[in-house]
Amino acid sequence: PVQVRIELLTDGQVIAREEGIVDAPGRFMAELDRKLGELAASASHPLVVRHFTSTRAIFAQEWNKALIYTKSNPEMAAECVTFAKKALQTLTERPEEFADERYLNGEREMVFSFIADDSTLQWYHFRLPAGYDPEKPVPSVVYLHGSGNPHPLHSVSGVFEPLSGPDPAWTEPVLRLAPWARGNYGYRDIAEADVMKSLSDAQRTVKVDKDRIYLMGHSLGGGGTWALALRYPDVWAAAAVSSGVTWFLPTGQGYGANASALPMLIWHGEADGSAANVQNAYDMQRELEAYGNKPEMRIIPGRGHDFLPPDHSSALKWLVGHQRRRPDKFSYKAAPGAPRGVWGVTMRLPRGGGLSNPSFTCEIEGNMVKISSEDVSRFSVKLGEGGLGLSGDVTVLVNGEQRYSGPAKDVEVGGDGGR
């Protein structure tokens, strides 16, 4: 800070004087950077160390971006300082709230950064359940946020808010993952990749129960939940869409077949006057039922776009009652940019592509695997662990022809001479 004195002179005489302190905005960023560095150095648990290191890197990144664009977008720099001041105040005034045990007991949320597919620094929110045991696999909810303040530090600085007691919406002992996913980007393209990379990173960080991973989101996040449920149906044990839209993966194009065996809850306020009106819920229901999936429908009379804590808690309770199971029959249609298969069965497309939405159906009868497709004749198949989960000798038929018989392992089948 700089002490400044301003004097108004008339004929050499001082007729008014004002004194004050002028702060350099960068001072708050520097003080916060120092504080976060100290907290990272003093933390004893690696998860907490990573949290403080991650938030420090994110604040530094956003401030450096603000300095570049300060003339064209001064509001961006001003917001950075506002968020830094707020975080610094709580860290300084309530240091006891940021002890390791607060994070390890699930009382406080952490932020973990990672390098995304486009080489940028991205992050997700991470909160352990109360009573977390690092030796036991933990059920997890990937929560997709709705639209909000687009400034990245709005997302990050929230983890430094003073504690206000348990969140009434989160009543189940689950690990919570909330990807930033580029803010209001819509969970498509690189934002979709961020969501899946966040989950992969969390799975490397703690023991996640791979058969109890749930997907949930509201509004913008509800639309993302709908799309990611159909694009990655073998990842989730169940999915819950609240006030979601179908824009990110339109109905009527056959993608509902992908989730024919995925338990889904669809919640919507009947009087929702937003762009996410209740017709979206009925469109989702119709799409799923066309392929034999009867979703849990909760249409709330008189309710608008609000998804209240009791609704959230009820949906969460419904989710955790499910466990992922590989169906004996499944179909998959690949949307643009989506994986080329599920449950370890992957379509091998010709070089140069040429197929925009290839699809296949797989039936499993005992240890016989039958794959059929009008688009593709060659497949990679994980017959054992990490795929179809079979053991012993397995026979694989592709479009009615036997292409493999032998131990349950990773195989390439189909095509010319495939075996």
pLDDT at 417: 44
pLDDT for res 352? 59
The answer to which of 29-33, 230-234, 235-239, 381-385 has the lowest mean pLDDT is 29-33
Nearest residue to 280 via CA among 311, 255, 248, 302? 248
State the pLDDT at residue 24.
59
Neighbours of 27 (CB within 10 A): 12
User: What is the C-alpha separation between 34 and 40, in angstroms, rounded?
Assistant: 10
Indicate if the pLDDT at residue 23 is higher than 60: no
The answer, as to whether pTM is greater than 0.85, is yes
**Is the pLDDT reported for residue 389 higher than 70?**
yes
* pLDDT of 413 over the 80 cut: yes
Amino acid at 360: F
Yes or no: say if 343 and 379 are a contact pair by the CB < 8 Å rule. Answer: no
Proportion of the chain above pLDDT 90, given as a percent: 81
Mean pLDDT, the chain, whole residue set: 92
Model pLDDT, residue 88: 93
Q: Mean pLDDT over residues 58-79, rounded? A: 84
pLDDT score, position 3: 52
Interhelix angle 46-68/25-42, rounded to 10 degrees, is 160
> What pLDDT band is residue 91 in, cutting at 50, 70 and 90?
very high
Lowest mean pLDDT among 33-37, 82-86, 363-367, 383-387: 82-86
Average pLDDT over residues 48-69: 93
* Least confident residue range of 136-145, 151-160, 241-250, 354-363: 354-363
**Residue 21: per-residue pLDDT:** 46
Beta-bridged to residue 2, according to DSSP, are 22
Q: What was the pLDDT predicted at 10?
A: 73
Cα dist from 314 to 73, 242, 263, 267, 295, whole Å = 43, 12, 15, 11, 15
Distance, CA of 397 to CA of 363 (rounded, Å): 10
Segment holding 60, helix H or strand E: helix 46-68
Does residue 27 or residue 109 have the better pLDDT? 109
User: From CA 202, how far away is CA 76, in angstroms rounded?
Assistant: 30
pLDDT at 134: 94
Query: How far apart, in whole angstroms, are the C-alpha atoms of residue 350 and residue 378?
Result: 9
